[in-house]
Amino acid sequence: MAFYVSTAKSDITPTLSQNPYMAGFGNQGDSNPRTASSSSPYADPLLVRCVIIWQDSSPHALISLDVLGLPRDMHQALRPRLVALSNWSSSDILISATHTHNGPALLDSLQPFISYGISDVTLIRSYSAWLMDKVVDTVRTALNASRTAVSLEWKVTTSGIGYNRVGLSTVENQIPMLIARSGSTVRALIWSLGCHPISAGMQERWDGDWPSGANAHIEASTGFDFALFVQGPAGDQDPTGTWGWSLRDSHSTTLGALLTTQARTAGTAISGSISTQYQEINLPLQTSTGLSTARSQYINRLGNSSGQPAWYQRHAEVMVSRIDSGVNPSSIPLPLQVWRFGSGQRIALTGGELVSAYGAWARTNYGGASRVMIGGYGNEVPCYIPDNQFLPGGAFSDGSYEGGWESDYSGIAGGNLTVYPHIYHFSTSASSTLTNALGPMIA
């Protein structure tokens, strides 16, 4: 049995005529939505990257996009197109969003009207279709590219660029790395860290933030061909420091230098076959409020007596319309995916903005970062994925953005669930539903 890699990457930076709308920070008021002031990025172009790990002649694709997150409709349309490219299973194709907040707005992630006040989504729709074509073309190119025989290694380092923004004890500072090495050259470096890529802050230029900058640093270093970032459990993790281009560059350089230094020396050898799993689960919502009461509360929220951001009112408007149309979801679908290497290392990704408690859970129960790379933002991003600390009865009596509820109307959606958007917040059984499904896949 032998391992090989092949790679490809493509520029997905929109032109201003293609899609000027930026994603990641909601429109606080009634002013115009945030748009890019230049079609060129600040430093590095937005990219789709693909590494194919071949086990003999069997391919496995790891794909990363410099976008906030793929919405469900895009992911569900994209996956069968990728499956058709080769003789492989759907579980052999793993898609990750870096979660940059200075990337392009996509359909429903975040919801363009609610989040940004964009009523005409014609350009967003056409760019989203173009983006899917670019992903397919990039994966096809990687499949057809020259394959290099490599050894695979696993290594872990740490970085202190992030902190828990809500004051909980879980902090994501471990960086697991999958290194594909050929002689003295690192042909591909796959790495993960759980932290919001918002070091640059809210800008008006396209930029992939520190994941993009670190990848560029790695690829510009002697002996390194290709780098790919997998976002970790970043839901409650923010970068330290004062946001701006200077901090973005500092974090990019710090991480890039750390990773190149660490990857120059050997890690733990990976051996054995690669096995993959993919499934979708349904995380239950707390629907006990009932549609009639929910509708009344959304009508009240339209008045914005609490002075909440303007997207709360836009969300309430859309929710009333959905309720009147008979929409009554009881759960949110979530993809789970695990790659297992024969020597015991695993890459595990969930959809959504996974909070750090799940990273701690996976490392505690399944061998630490030396055995598992866990992340969110995988395949599709429907909302934050909180644990029970963030839900009613947990650590935050005034509600929580990550948990998706507010203390004034605790039975309907608040926080992040107003911009993704949903009618209700999660049930407290959602967390166990996730760990009960993902645990056996990792074990």
pLDDT digits (tens, 9 = 90+) for 304-317: 877 888 899 999 99
Buried b (16+ CB within 10 A) or exposed e, 112-139: bbbbbbbeebebbeebbeebbeebbebb
Q: How far apart are CA 323 and CA 310, in angstroms?
A: 20
Tokens of 83: 């499956």
Reported as type and span, the H/E element at residue 54 is strand 47-55
Chain-centroid distance of CA 397 in Å reads 27
Q: Distance between CA atoms of 251 and 258, rounded to whole angstroms? A: 10
Return the structure tokens found at 440.
């056996």
End-to-end C-alpha distance for the chain, whole angstroms: 24
Q: Find where tokens 């002013």 sit.
A: 31
Give CA–CA dist 325/335, Å, rounded: 27
Q: What is the DSSP secondary-structure string of 290-355?
A: -HHHHHHHHHHHHT-TT---HHHHHHHHHHHHHHHTT----EEEEEEEEEEETTS-EEEEESSEE-
| pLDDT given at position 41 | 73
Neighbouring CB atoms inside 10 A of 354's CB total 30
> What pLDDT is attached to residue 109?
80
Sign of CA dihedral 108, 113, 115, 117: positive
Residue-wise pLDDT tens for the chain (443 aa)? Answer: 899 999 999 999 999 999 999 999 876 555 689 999 877 777 789 999 999 999 999 999 999 999 999 999 999 999 999 999 999 999 999 999 999 999 999 998 889 999 999 999 999 999 999 999 999 999 999 999 999 999 999 999 999 899 999 999 999 999 999 999 999 999 999 999 999 999 999 999 999 999 999 999 999 999 999 999 999 999 999 999 999 999 999 999 999 999 999 999 999 999 999 999 999 999 999 999 999 999 999 999 998 877 888 899 999 999 999 999 998 899 999 999 999 999 999 999 999 999 999 999 999 999 999 999 999 999 999 999 999 999 999 999 999 999 999 998 999 999 999 999 999 999 999 999 999 999 999 99
